[in-house]
Amino acid sequence: MSARLRFSYADLHDTIARGAQQIIASDFHFDVILAIGGGGFIPARILRTYVEKPLIAISLARYHPDQPPSETPHKLQWVEGVNHMITGKRVLLVDEVDDERTTLAYAIEELLQEAPSEIGVFVMHNKLKPKKAEFPDSVKHVFVGKDIEDVWVDYPWDARDIRAHERDAAVGGPIEVDEQEARAQYRN
């Protein structure tokens, strides 16, 4: 058994809306949203509803089926072909969760090679735990939708049975889940 958090789509939408208000109220006026896939796709799209900026995506991977996560992500899809939307521009990098910060740190390091004028970060959830990396000085704006405890999060877009997920999410707080059951119900 392990503790897991499950949020409804409405909870996530509300969290992103609060994050959008932080961003709008800040002095960070960005040109483009850059989503880190797979988890950052949906939060970035919802965020776009509030900030009305162009949205592009990259895809990085740390996880492979039946293997522990790798320490260094690898690129599945990068910005080739849309570099002009990043070079010299202010970019808001979006991901669903800041867990160990491995993926965010890698994305920022690679993104800096594209010479944006400024980088900001928005994460829907920040796990309250030590991180493996710090944000570089070039990242001046970090926005967090919600701080959460350090437990695994089952997001609705990974659920195979969305109705069961929504029922669990309605409970609120962490739930105890059998690992075999969780693997059968979620893509993780």
What Rg value do the Cα atoms of the chain yield, rounded?
Answer: 16
Angle between helical axes of 9-25 and 41-51 (0-180°, round to 10):
50
Sheet of 74-77: strands edge to edge? 74-77, 55-61, 32-37, 90-98, 118-127, 139-148
> Contact at 8 Å (CB) between 135 and 126?
no
Helices within 26-57 (DSSP H only): 41-51
Which residues does residue 3 pair with via DSSP β-bridges, in sequence order?
176
Tell me whether residue 11 is exposed, middle or buried, using C-beta atoms within 10 angstroms of its C-beta: 0 to 12, 13 to 18, 19 or more. middle
What amino acid positions are annotated as catalytic residues? 99
For residue 115, report the phi and psi dihedrals to the nearest 5 degrees: 60, 50
Tokens standing for residue 87:
């070079």
Determine the Cα–Cα distance for residues 4 and 95; give it in Å rounded to an integer.
19
